[in-house]
Structure 1
């Protein structure tokens, strides 16, 4: 337990000045409201404060601090580290604040702190506009962006945080502040990768980009052909235009029409190529991959928001993720990457992923949550159902990281990992950036109220 046991009268006192809804363990839908993407996270808060506006957020913070309750903040609930739950504490649930307002003339969107990328993409797509979001539609806009914001169209448009124009935040002392290049610029810098360490984001404003055409290819081979495919894919991406994104994945063959029966439910090598442009240009780009004879393939024009929804994994699985970033990908690294795929827990939605960065990502500003020199991310994304598989799944992810260490860049994308210790947190920010973040933390959260995300300790 991370808080004092509350009396019902205490919660009633908060409800008198709370516009949204307060959910406690006595409510019939408590477990549904409490549930998050990772079924391994079983923490049970005493109060879930579903906030309707920033004033609710401020009231919830004041109540939690007065009653000695640990605070967690939830938007999409995808944090594999468990930052969106607290056992015995209070969760500030921003999901009711999910409105998305698009100004097509200025190519900007203002988004509530509880919006998902599905909310965002569905609002911008009718205008032929988009910005980089996550890789599924159910991820929260705020959590992903404040942690950096990697997604399928980042090589063309940069990270989510690269497109951030301002953040409206409620701080630990209940103040409503705005962070932008003009207002609280040091806080604005910190929010480009520093995550939920500085307050509760209640609204974010983004730059949008024209996206009149978008296409994708999903290609599938038997796993024993994966190493040859991986070499072709690596060489193709080395000279790829910014328009191309995606990743090479070992995954379980899904029961889809395009998948041959002999691959369904079996370990496969897949390549997803996303393309900011039409199908004809995409086919020309992926010609070397098509020449290897994929057994299953879909190559088509598609709306960006439709692609995001197509890749949604259902909640309720047990999750363990990690990340090892590389600045080069020699043959020996590819050998080990492909060999380790055999240890995946299959059949399951797990993905043994190799993701290309570069392009606009490499040209972005020096934010604290991303090393622009990284060219590849090796990302074991474990999802499975049976608790008996916990040790095997976690060992697979950790062993893949260990395999990659001879070529590791030393940094880490923190949105991709759980609790892997202080050294990994500092590696994610960089030592110099961590010191600067600690000074911002000391100004806006000197008591370290917000510490559930990869924590930055306030400078003393």
Structure 2
């Protein structure tokens, strides 16, 4: 019997080869710049399917890519010539409201998780885009607007169910496998295929938030104002700032669509009665906003504020995030100058960190950038020819201009799988992760990720001896 047919008989999910209908659509991720062809796509419905797919790949010497939400900008959710485990059908969510606990499968995206938890007024710190996968975001550390109160996404993770490189199932927690638990919270998908994540939930109900829009000419005054406002604000406050050509989105009035502008989205998770006082410095600064959309809203409505582009699978994306200890006037001037000279497909996103992130609320994790207080995303997004280098060149020049002040890149926003970028993303934790990789995946079966190479641990050991 053909080995592919044998695999089909072993699993409850699906198996696609390049000759099968549906393969072309199934191999794609949410970045048209990524064009890779796996040898086989296994659509998994449970952990047993995952284990069968891993064993199939190992027996044939094929590497394994893992797709949850498929949103990683470098295209980690597909591969060239390997076995792709598509976990999209593994979409179970269990909420225990009294215990404030959740269990989530890896095909779940944040919009579905938030909706399930919000039925009980609960949430976990997560990204601002609902279509991002829960598993990948968590394994990369995970930052969001709730992080200033409750820490990283991975700080709320209490356990992981995982299929190892040998195809065996394992429960990982601080009690059962403390070192691997450390590595899974921020070390990415390097050590196995996560099939369930347990989370601690936090009480979050209504939010006061919305856009304050300023003309681009005011950016040199407004961005320092927003920075200083956040420095003095309590952890219940957060902020995202965008410098962009505004898309035609419901977030903004139609008159501002396609205009170059600065959009502040300040957020207040505290007592709504105090919101006006909290936001007053932003509203009464040196430049009045041309639009003020701040209002009370549900947490779900808040997470739908930022638009997702239409035809997302046709959009080419080159985005990279840098972690900064401080956001100086000189850094802001450098980035604004870059924006002024770039085209409409270039944008800047500033995100607030600090607060509970720096306090390691759930103990040490592999995520290395606890001391960063700001996140800066340099974005290029375009339609048309993926080989058009103009847009990518602007973004690349933007993040390179930050290297003297960056603590390192954010692993969840690395545009390409460059080995030296992975080292920078994991920082001082890289050698420890490499030792863990050598223990759990010595053949680097799981390499389509922000990859830690197991041989690096050997090199590190040799260096210490010499």
- TM bucket normalised to smaller: over 0.9
Aligned to 1:402: 400
Q: What secondary structure, in the 3-state scheme, does the structure 2 residue paired with 1:177 have?
A: strand
Matching residue of 1:108: 101
- The partner residue of 1:447 within 415, 440, 443 is 443
Q: Is the 8 A contact 1:258 1:297 kept in 2?
A: no
| Pairwise CA distance, 1:9 | 2.7
Kept in 1: contact 2:339–2:347 (CA 8 A):
no
Pair 1:293-2:288 in alignment: yes
Match of 1:428 among 425, 428, 432: 425
User: Is the contact between residue 161 and residue 193 of structure 1 (CA under 8 Å) also seen in structure 2?
Assistant: yes
- Does the alignment pair 1:415 with 2:408? no
The answer (yes or no) to whether the contact 1:370–1:413 under 8 Å persists in 2 is no
Which of 214, 222, 226 matches 2:207?
214
The aligned counterpart of 1:5 is none
CA distance in 1, matches of 2:201, 2:21: 41
Instruction: Give the TM-score taking structure 2 as reference length.
Output: 0.92
Which of 339, 352, 355 pairs up with 2:348? 352
Q: Which secondary structure state, in structure 1, belongs to the residue aligned with residue 377 of structure 2?
A: strand
Task: Provide the secondary structure at the position in 1 that maps to 2:102.
Answer: strand
Q: 2:332 aligns with which of 331, 334, 349?
A: 334
1:363 equivalent in alignment to 2:356: no
Q: Distance in 1 between matches of 2:294 and 2:270?
A: 13
Partners of 1:319 and 1:328 in 2: CA distance? 27
SS of the equivalent of 2:189 reads: helix
Q: CA deviation at 1:353?
A: 1.0
Alignment pair present for 1:320 and 2:313: no
In the other structure, the counterpart of 1:305 is 300
1:278 to partner: Cα distance: 5.3
Q: C-alpha displacement at 1:354, in angstroms?
A: 1.4
For 2:379, the equivalent position in structure 1 comes to: 381
* Post-superposition offset of 1:440: 1.3
How far is the alpha carbon of 1:290 from its aligned partner?
A: 1.4
Deviations 1:83-142 (A, max 9, x none): 111122211011111111000111010001211111210110010000111121111111
Per-residue deviation, residues 178-201 of structure 1 (Å, max 9, x unmatched): 111101111000001110000000
Deviation, structure 1 residue 415: 0.8
SS in 2 for 1:286: helix
Equivalent position SS for 1:362: helix
Q: Aligned pair in 2 of structure 1 residues 258, 435: CA closer, same or farther (>3 Å)?
A: closer
Report if aligned partners of 1:368, 1:430 keep a CA contact under 8 Å in 2.
Answer: no
* Structure 2 CA distance for partners of 1:337 and 1:74, relative to 1, 3 Å: same
| 2:461 corresponds to | none
How many residue pairs get aligned? The number is: 449
Q: Deviations over 1:219-248 (max 9, x none)?
A: 111211111110110110111111112311
- Give 5+ residue unaligned stretches, structure 2: 459-466
Secondary structure at 2:15 match in 1: strand
Partner of 2:462: none
Query: Is 1:197–1:455's contact at 8 Å kept on the other side of the alignment?
Result: yes
Structure 1 residues 66, 106: CA separation in 2 closer, same or farther (over 3 Å shift)?
A: same
Change (3 A) 1:257 1:98: closer
Alpha-carbon distance between aligned partners in 2 of 1:388 and 1:29, rounded to the nearest angstrom = 23
1:257 and 1:456 mapped to 2: Cα distance? 41
Q: Contact 1:189/1:367 (CA < 8 Å) preserved in 2?
A: yes
1:149 partnered with 2:149: no
**Distance between the aligned counterparts of 1:338 and 1:53, measured in 2?**
48
Judge conservation of contact 2:100–2:122 (CA < 8 Å) in 1: yes
221-230 vs 308-317, which deviates more? 308-317
Query: Is 1:121–2:119 an aligned residue pair?
Result: no
- Distance in structure 2 (CA, Å) of the matches to 1:296 and 1:254: 15
**For 1:19-48, what per-residue CA distance to the aligned partner results, in whole angstroms no more than 9, with x for missing partners?**
111123333332332221111111022321
Query: 2: CA distance between counterparts of 1:16 and 1:440?
Result: 34
| Cα distance in structure 2, aligned partners of 1:341 and 1:445 | 42
Q: Distance in 1 between matches of 2:72 and 2:416?
A: 10
> What is the distance in 2 between the residues matched to 1:453 and 1:257?
34
Distance change (3 Å), C-alpha of 1:279 and 1:386: farther
130, 155, 175: which is aligned to 1:182?
175
* Structure 2 residue matching 1:274: 3-state secondary structure: strand
User: What SS class does the counterpart of residue 214 from structure 1 fall into?
Assistant: strand
Looking at structure 2, the residues matched to 158 and 442 of structure 1 have their Cα atoms a distance apart, in angstroms, of: 29
Residue 391 in structure 1 maps to residue 384 in structure 2: no
Distance 2:427 2:101 in 1: 31
Q: Which residue of 2 aligns with 1:4?
A: none
Contact 2:245–2:258 (8 Å) recurs in 1: yes
